[in-house]
Amino acid sequence: MPSARLPSRRGFLHTTAAGLLADGSRAPAANGPPRIIDPHVHVWKNDPRYPWPKEVKDPPKEDALPGTLLRLMKANGVEKTVLVHVIHYRWDCRYTGDVLRAHRDRFMGVCRVNPQADSAADDLGRWVRDYGFHGVRLSPAAGPAGDWINDRPRMDRILARAAELKIPLCVLCGTGRLPDVARAIDRHRDALDVCIDHMADCPIDRPAEQKKLAALARFPRVFVKISHLWSLSKQEYPYRDTYHLVKRVYDAFGPRRIMWGTDWPLVEKYCGYARALALYRDEIGFFTADDRRWILGATALRLWPFA
């Protein structure tokens, strides 16, 4: 396949002047309030129509309903939200998919597939076709249970299908798995957008682990959610002991490849939805106004192109 033709400097400048980035996405407007897009929440419901899988021994007792989420969004000026299919349902994405169908004007979604199933790539295609998901999440564990990430033929089928569908891959893992993730990404680096969720839960006091995360910046289509500061911090809100980690990720990837996220409803056990937004909008002092336009919304719009 011939390589993509690189734009001329004049063409690049013309495109930039028109407000578009090299990947075709639109840069945020420089005036007015930023668009606020939350790229990471979960929804679920205790409902026999969507049964919990038998292997899930302790499913959540309280519901996380879209109506509650929509009220929080309205109260806090959050325009759109990405629903990440919650692991409790395992590979049955119907509940999240039905919520997407009911609220296409407000939500986009990320599905899950069983990475060890021969049908994984076809399952991904079905969730995208039938429910409109725009993304797939893989979660390789640290121990032997996550070694499937190194099954090259199986991974390449899933990642190639995601690239074919033009949807991002979201990865939830610890830093110990990042070298394995990097090898998989490298094989698809020119065709696939990848988002590392929650900074791979990078420890704030282990620079060597932080280096593994920063190393992924060499892939221009890798993005990072700088969420979960409450779970990494040893302090109370606003979690200032995590800011040096955020700064390292910011310096490596730049504001156009990092994004916030509430991780609702899990955040309610920590600082709550409103303060999760305020943390990135108001508290982290080294972000400029332009940085915040990207981090609060414009970066997410590069992967989840809401109208």
pLDDT of residue 31: 74
pLDDT of residue 22: 62
pLDDT of residue 7: 39
115-to-62, 130, 148, 205 alpha-carbon distances in Å: 28, 20, 7, 32
Strands (E), the chain: 37-41, 80-84, 107-112, 136-138, 169-171, 194-196, 222-225, 258-259
- Better-predicted residue by pLDDT, 25 or 101: 101
Q: State the sign of the Cα–Cα–Cα–Cα dihedral 261, 156, 208, 253.
A: negative
Asked whether the predicted pLDDT for residue 10 surpasses 90, the reply is no
* φ, ψ at 283 (rounded to 5°): -90, -40
Give the Cα separation of 99 and 93 in Å (integer): 10
Which of 27-41, 99-113, 115-129, 215-229 shows the lowest per-residue confidence on average (mean pLDDT)?
Answer: 27-41
pLDDT of residue 192: 98
Are the beta carbons of 152 and 181 closer than 8 angstroms? no
Q: Which of 92, 79, 176 is nearest to 127 (CA)?
A: 92
pLDDT tens-digit series, residues 50-70 = 999 999 989 999 999 999 999
pLDDT of residue 162: 98
Q: Which residues contact 277 (CB under 8 A, 6 or more apart)?
A: 36, 38, 76, 78, 260, 262, 296
Mean pLDDT rounded to a whole number for the chain: 92
pLDDT of residue 25: 64
Q: What is the mean pLDDT of residues 224-249?
A: 97
Cα distance from N-terminal residue to C-terminal residue, the chain = 32
pLDDT of residue 30: 73
Domains of the chain, by residue range, sit at 33-303
Q: What is the mean pLDDT of residues 15-25?
A: 54
* pTM of the predicted protein model: 0.91
The CATH code for residues 33-303 is 3.20.20.140
pLDDT tens-digit series, residues 159-169 = 999 999 999 99
Q: What is the mean pLDDT of residues 143-164?
A: 98
Task: State the residue for tokens 């897009």.
Answer: 37
Asked whether the predicted pLDDT for residue 117 surpasses 70, the reply is yes
pLDDT of residue 301: 98
pLDDT tens-digit series, residues 75-86 = 999 999 999 999
Percent helix, strand, coil in the chain (nearest 5)?
45, 10, 40
Q: Which of 3, 27, 29, 32 is nearest to 15 (CA)?
A: 27
